[in-house]
Amino acid sequence: MALWGLRQLGETATLLVSELVGNAVRHARIDGSRIELRLEAAGTWLRIEVSDCDPRPPQPRAPSGLDESGFGFVLVEALADKWGVRETAAGKAVWIELNTEQADDPGDELSATPACGAASEKG
Candidates 15, 21, 22, 24; CA nearest to 75 is 15
Per residue of the chain (123 residues), what is the pLDDT tens digit?
A: 666 778 788 899 999 999 999 988 887 776 667 899 999 998 899 999 999 999 988 887 776 776 666 677 888 989 999 999 999 998 999 999 999 885 444 444 444 444 454 444 444
For the chain, the maximum distance between any two Cα atoms, rounded to a whole number of angstroms, is 42
Q: How far apart are CA 95 and CA 2, in angstroms?
A: 21
Q: How far apart are CA 41 and CA 103, in angstroms?
A: 10
DSSP state of 115: G
- Please enumerate in sequence order all residues whose Cβ is within 8 A of that of 61, keeping only pairs 6 or more positions apart, or say none: 70, 73
